[in-house]
Structure 1
Amino acid sequence: MKQLKLVDFVIFLFFLTESLSLPTKPQDVDDFSITQKFIEENVGYITIITFAQYIQKASFEEVEMLAKAMTEYRDQCLTNRTLPQCSKLPNDALLEAICSMEGLPKEHNFSHCCSKVDFERRLCFFLNKKADVGFLPPLPTLDPEVKCQAYKSNSESFLSNYIYEVSRRNPFVFAPTLLTVAVRIEEMIKTCCEEQDKANCFQTKAVPVIQYLKALSSYQKTVCGAFLKFGPQVLKSIYIVTLSQKFPKIEFKELTSLLEDVSSMYSGCCEGDAVHCIHGRSKVMSHICLKQDSISSKIKECCEKQIPERGECIIHSYKDDRPEDLSLREAKFTENKNVCEERNADQHIFMAKFLYEYSRRHQELSTPELLRIANVYDDLLKECCNAENPPDCYSIAESKFNETTEKSLQMVQRECERFQSLGKDGLKYYYLIRFTKIAPQLSTDELTFLGEGMVTALTSCCTLSEEFACVDNLVDLVLGEICGVNENRTINPAVDHCCKTNFAFRRPCFESLELDNTYVPPSASLGLFTFHTGLCQEHNEELQRKKDRFLVNLVKLKPELADEALRSWFTEFSNLVDRCCKATGPGACFNEQGPKLAAKIQTS
């Protein structure tokens, strides 16, 4: 067991108000106190989340030890807040605590981070996070009866272990989201452990929780990736769109004030600063609820809820109705003769106003599409404001916007037509091949996850009335998974170009990608054609997962083959598995047929 060095140990104060920005308005004071109490009550879980996300290979024993120490120090500092060690920022204090754990930095290879201080240390730990968690063992699965008994014996330890396992496999998910997942898991356990058919109950109730975690994980990684790669201005643009569409009657002045709180929240959440993130999100929701009469008519019930349920409710509330007096066009951006003067006075404010006005008028468009339109408008004005007759030049803006939207619509239509013609399985195989050809450097697990993500996006959206926005938004999240969060992530020159050049246009950029010519396939099949009788004992889902992995690895081995040829070899492999599993001696069948298939593929 690792020992904590308590000499010069810096306390991780999740609960200390002096380390955070103090509120000034009466309601903010109340909300701050409620949030602070929530943090105090969950200090152990928050410690586990932060530690497990930063040091993903740390054992549960190591993580739990730190959580217990922090709970003890919480009690100590609540008794005497004047202690000198109680003034550090929470995240800085935690990193110092982690670095003080004897032997841990060297064992888990982060000593270089501990040699840094302040921002440089925080950045080092952040860049140490790994989205591809193939180095971790599979998530442990317990028999339902064993699970229920473990929870009844020690519910706190059971939930702590669950939070630890989920956090280290989702290093970029925000702490409030993981705490919400933990609450939902506990509710599921309490319900299912009282059921006769516990296994079916767990299987059914786990699905929405997993979907919630995956969806929030993708969204948060995409937004943080944009923030860290392109800076705060892109983050503000994303949220101008999001908030203007959700709350179309919000005034621009109120929107800009709210954006400051959002930007502050994300600077902490994206770094993995759990306390800053929890307080930041609470502040955003307090701001919205304080001004709800002028922001939205759809969130009254949400604002009556307690923290953190209030935040979850607002995030998932429906868009407010577009004001009746709000026309679909705002002529002042295309017909006003003073556009260039107004733009030149303050380009950031001018473009923010344009994005705000266009987004609140077009709730049917996706976030990426509205960002593309703003990009097209900005480029047009750069040209027109240097022309001889600017108003004539930018009078064609609306047709440019329509042209951009039409191109995006055609992309969506092609994808939905593909879904209709190929079906769910055929669609998955199409994207497994496509993604592997354009980014073969990614791990097999990552590529299968991306393929499943595209299938989820298209099967969820292609039958909806709001098909365009739904597909465009969800597919953009899949691309966010490829691009990753860290600024220093590289895959290959073509993919890197799409990820780092222009956030708004990365989808059209990916659409144009083909086979990666820089990739050198492995010289050997690396066990690809070594089949085991264990395949015959797999459940349908696990067998399908292994078949998907075979297809990805086949493309990595033979990326130059046409898609039709790859699908044909994949079909032969599937037939071989089915045939051998039905044979009297599956092992002998695999030993005879496997090498034959390998030889045919290798010479193709």
Structure 2
Amino acid sequence: MKQLKLTGFVIFLFFVPESLTLPTQPQDVDDVNITQKFIEENVGYITIIVFAQYIQEASFEEVEVLVKAMTEYRDKCLGDVTLPVCSKLATDVLLENICALEGLPQKHNFSHCCSKVDLERKLCFLHNKKTDVGFLPPLPTLDPEEKCQTYKNNRESFLNNYIYEISRRNPFVFAPTLLTVAARFEEMTKTCCEEQDKANCFRTKAEPVIQYLKASSSFQKNVCGALMKFGLQVLESINVAILSQKFPKIEFKELTSLLKDVSSKYDGCCEGDAVQCIRDRSKVMSHICSKQDSISSKIKECCEKKMPERGECIVSSTKDDRPKELALREVKFTESENVCEERDANQTIFMAEFLYEHSRRHPELSIPELLRIAGVYEDLLKECCHTENPPDCYRRAENKFNETTEKSLKTVQRECEHFQNLGKDDLKHYYLIKLTKIAPQLSTEELTFLGKEMVTALTTCCTLSEEFACVDNLMDLVLGELCGINENRNINPDVDHCCKTNFAFRRPCFEGLEADKTYVPPSTSQDLFTFHTDLCQAHNEELQRKKDRFLVNLVKRKPELTDEALRSLLTDFTNVVVKCCKAEGPEACFNEEGPKLAAKSQAA
């Protein structure tokens, strides 16, 4: 599957409750019993995900205690559903159990959340989540033979541990996505443990699973960030654009009906309410498949499949063909005499219909670009509807749309020229410098990750025919990562302005940013130039990571240096590593060369 397809309609990754325990029959309509059975059978996995995402520092042993408590709760309620405790929401029961674990709230510093109730408590736990997981130890790696033996000896403990590790490192990923990753991981383990060359098998099969998780995480954080910073209306605009592009023959009335189910599910999913998230998504998938004749001609076979296969099938299906009777332009919004009257009657519905009509006609545009065009149109009508002759004024709307797209297209072309001219490594250095200068308050880990993702976006997209939409979609997701989910994430005034002022125009806003003038670098940079022989043990990717970290830390300490001076110092650092690792006494060499490089940075 092309990366473009994955991100261009990545919203559909999240509609189906995928589980390690699969229902045995196809789900043709919304079947509450099947969804409930799924939740009951997977209570252990769901508990691990919620606990590990909320309390990332918790040990696996502490998580196991909670799993035992929640399994007992399930069994008690299956035995007698009339018990008072069984009428509570599952998430409330889960959080109560977390807070009841002796000494844990104090140990992991979440007592303040336990003193709250209901939604306030849930939001407190949500704000407790940390995107930057640099405080966690490296992800444990097992030798392939050892991995297979561990799986064979105790499948349940093996999978529980895997779900725990990926959940605490991906605190904002929706529970169904993590269950899908775990199911794929188990499938991969079964296959590779039968192979002669297990190591190569795991390497090959792990890559698409990692990409699926990364793409899912990026999209979900972006959409939840939009919901929490800008509210439901912006979230609904994103969904209108995505659904209309994917299903261009869907009627607007049907779209608004589907939109209610799609948008409402995000409350639970974004807040980390795994059970509600699963229920709401199941409802959306049933809605899509029960109305498939009026939604898309491409998903019939998908809807005949069982969960979770049908969700994956819909994700990978191509965009539906544009209806033949659909004209390239919808004149109703630019030629009608009554545009202002229709807008004033119900502005929300009117703008949603405009976005729907424009999106279904322009599959070649990115989601952010479609939202920009809707913003331009809305601003134009505010101006035109107060003039003496509104129709004369809004007839120039198409020219405005073209100007907006041309501007965005030039930005993408410029970025792809960087990709063509600089090559992968230099391009990464370019973005590492740029991002660190505008947001030096972010951790080194976050900045190196964001720089790498920028390069991945351009490497993926700049050779495709759908270059514009692909680049704009993926780079917008990277900015979503930078801006974060929580409302209370503050970086610096200029970055905060771009992140919080206008969702559709944040990318053009970031384009205009320069180095943060409010940033005060650390007073000493001596440790930056203290090198050790561990550099000689690092090879390939690990060495590249160390170079990236050096560059980011150099910019953090010397933000006033030009890009050329910074790249020159990075080259010097690389040369020092090569020279000293070849020397008879590497440590002595590093002790000599480090101060020289520090002096050069002072003089630069």
TM-score range, shorter chain: over 0.9
Amino acid at match of 2:539: H
Shift of 1:204: 1.6
Name the CA distance, whole Å, in 1 between partners of 2:43 and 2:511: 45
Name the CA distance, whole Å, in 1 between partners of 2:238 and 2:526: 43
Does structure 1 residue 527 correspond to structure 2 residue 527? yes
Amino acid at match of 1:273: D
- For the structure 1 residues 432 and 401, does the alpha-carbon distance in structure 2 shift closer, same or farther, using more than 3 Å as the test? same
Name the CA distance, whole Å, in 1 between partners of 2:426 and 2:322: 39
Tell me what 2:96 maps to. Answer: 96
Amino acid at match of 2:322: R
Q: Verify the 8 A CA contact 2:458 2:471 in the aligned structure 1.
A: yes
Instruction: Say which SS state the counterpart of residue 527 (structure 1) adopts.
Output: helix
* 1:418-437 → structure 2 map (5 Å cutoff): 418-437=418-437
Tell me what 1:44 maps to. Answer: 44
Name the CA distance, whole Å, in 2 between partners of 1:426 and 1:508: 23
Name the CA distance, whole Å, in 1 between partners of 2:482 and 2:371: 20
Q: Verify the 8 A CA contact 2:28 2:289 in the aligned structure 1.
A: no
Amino acid at match of 2:203: Q
**Deviation per residue, 1:452-483 (Å, 9 max, x gap):** 10010000000000000000000000000000
Tell me what 1:86 maps to. Answer: 86
Segment of structure 1 superposing worse, 576-585 or 52-61: 576-585
Tell me what 2:159 maps to. Answer: 159
Q: Verify the 8 A CA contact 1:437 1:516 in the aligned structure 2.
A: yes
Tell me what 1:194 maps to. Answer: 194
Q: Verify the 8 A CA contact 1:281 1:311 in the aligned structure 2.
A: no
Name the CA distance, whole Å, in 1 between partners of 2:174 and 2:549: 30
Name the CA distance, whole Å, in 2 between partners of 1:357 and 1:526: 59
**Deviation per residue, 1:368-415 (Å, 9 max, x gap):** 000000000000000100111100010100000000000000000000
Amino acid at match of 2:415: E
What are structure 2's unaligned runs of at least 5 residues? 1-25
Name the CA distance, whole Å, in 2 between partners of 1:103 and 1:552: 39
Tell me what 1:210 maps to. Answer: 210
Amino acid at match of 1:573: F
Q: Verify the 8 A CA contact 1:35 1:307 in the aligned structure 2.
A: no
Q: Verify the 8 A CA contact 1:247 1:295 in the aligned structure 2.
A: yes
Does structure 1 residue 555 correspond to structure 2 residue 518? no
Q: Which has the higher contact order (CA 8 A, sep 6+)?
A: 2
Does structure 1 residue 317 correspond to structure 2 residue 326? no
Q: Verify the 8 A CA contact 1:34 1:307 in the aligned structure 2.
A: no
Instruction: Say which SS state the counterpart of residue 158 (structure 2) adopts.
Output: helix
Q: Verify the 8 A CA contact 1:377 1:397 in the aligned structure 2.
A: yes
* 1:114-513 → structure 2 map (5 Å cutoff): 114-513=114-513
Amino acid at match of 1:444: T
Amino acid at match of 2:390: P
Amino acid at match of 1:549: R
Shift of 1:27: 7.2
Name the CA distance, whole Å, in 1 between partners of 2:120 and 2:230: 19
Name the CA distance, whole Å, in 2 between partners of 1:479 and 1:307: 33
Name the CA distance, whole Å, in 1 between partners of 2:584 and 2:189: 42
Q: TM-score, normalised by structure 2?
A: 0.94
Shift of 1:232: 0.4
Shift of 1:105: 0.8
Q: Verify the 8 A CA contact 2:495 2:510 in the aligned structure 1.
A: yes
Shift of 1:69: 2.0
Q: Verify the 8 A CA contact 1:448 1:548 in the aligned structure 2.
A: yes
**Deviation per residue, 1:246-279 (Å, 9 max, x gap):** 0000011110011110111111100000011111
Tell me what 1:540 maps to. Answer: 540
**Deviation per residue, 1:178-221 (Å, 9 max, x gap):** 00000111111111112222222212211111111111100000
Question: How many equivalent pairs are there?
Answer: 579
Q: Verify the 8 A CA contact 1:282 1:307 in the aligned structure 2.
A: no
Name the CA distance, whole Å, in 1 between partners of 2:107 and 2:27: 47
Shift of 1:29: 6.5
Q: Verify the 8 A CA contact 2:29 2:287 in the aligned structure 1.
A: no
- For the structure 1 residues 101 and 29, does the alpha-carbon distance in structure 2 shift closer, same or farther, using more than 3 Å as the test? farther
Q: Verify the 8 A CA contact 1:192 1:202 in the aligned structure 2.
A: yes
Instruction: Say which SS state the counterpart of residue 382 (structure 2) adopts.
Output: helix
Tell me what 1:21 maps to. Answer: none
Q: Verify the 8 A CA contact 1:28 1:283 in the aligned structure 2.
A: no
Name the CA distance, whole Å, in 1 between partners of 2:277 and 2:348: 26
Segment of structure 1 superposing worse, 266-275 or 577-586: 577-586
Instruction: Say which SS state the counterpart of residue 271 (structure 2) adopts.
Output: coil
Name the CA distance, whole Å, in 2 between partners of 1:540 and 1:28: 50
Q: Verify the 8 A CA contact 1:533 1:587 in the aligned structure 2.
A: yes
Q: Please, what is the CA RMSD of the aligned residues?
A: 1.2
Shift of 1:602: 2.3
Tell me what 2:11 maps to. Answer: none
Q: Verify the 8 A CA contact 2:372 2:504 in the aligned structure 1.
A: yes
Tell me what 1:31 maps to. Answer: 31
Shift of 1:307: 2.1
Name the CA distance, whole Å, in 1 between partners of 2:469 and 2:130: 30
**Deviation per residue, 1:286-331 (Å, 9 max, x gap):** 1000000110111122212222332233233221111111111000
Instruction: Say which SS state the counterpart of residue 270 (structure 1) adopts.
Output: helix
Amino acid at match of 1:150: T
What are structure 1's unaligned runs of at least 5 residues? 1-25
Segment of structure 1 superposing worse, 48-57 or 68-77: 68-77
Segment of structure 1 superposing worse, 86-95 or 69-78: 69-78
Tell me what 2:111 maps to. Answer: 111
Name the CA distance, whole Å, in 2 between partners of 1:248 and 1:278: 27
Name the CA distance, whole Å, in 2 between partners of 1:253 and 1:491: 41
Q: Verify the 8 A CA contact 2:248 2:322 in the aligned structure 1.
A: yes
Amino acid at match of 2:347: Q
Name the CA distance, whole Å, in 1 between partners of 2:206 and 2:544: 20
Name the CA distance, whole Å, in 2 between partners of 1:335 and 1:400: 15
Name the CA distance, whole Å, in 2 between partners of 1:383 and 1:127: 40
- For the structure 1 residues 266 and 30, does the alpha-carbon distance in structure 2 shift closer, same or farther, using more than 3 Å as the test? closer
Q: Verify the 8 A CA contact 1:439 1:491 in the aligned structure 2.
A: yes
**Deviation per residue, 1:93-125 (Å, 9 max, x gap):** 211111111111111111111111111111111
Shift of 1:68: 2.0
Name the CA distance, whole Å, in 2 between partners of 1:424 and 1:281: 39
Instruction: Say which SS state the counterpart of residue 134 (structure 1) adopts.
Output: coil
**Deviation per residue, 1:164-185 (Å, 9 max, x gap):** 0110111100001000000111
Does structure 1 residue 64 correspond to structure 2 residue 27? no
Q: Verify the 8 A CA contact 2:428 2:455 in the aligned structure 1.
A: yes
Structure 1 runs, 4 residues or longer, greater than 4 Å off: 26-30
Amino acid at match of 2:190: K
Name the CA distance, whole Å, in 1 between partners of 2:382 and 2:310: 43
Q: Verify the 8 A CA contact 1:298 1:317 in the aligned structure 2.
A: yes
Segment of structure 1 superposing worse, 70-79 or 406-415: 70-79
Q: TM-score, normalised by structure 1?
A: 0.94
Name the CA distance, whole Å, in 1 between partners of 2:29 and 2:349: 31
Amino acid at match of 1:521: P
Shift of 1:40: 1.6
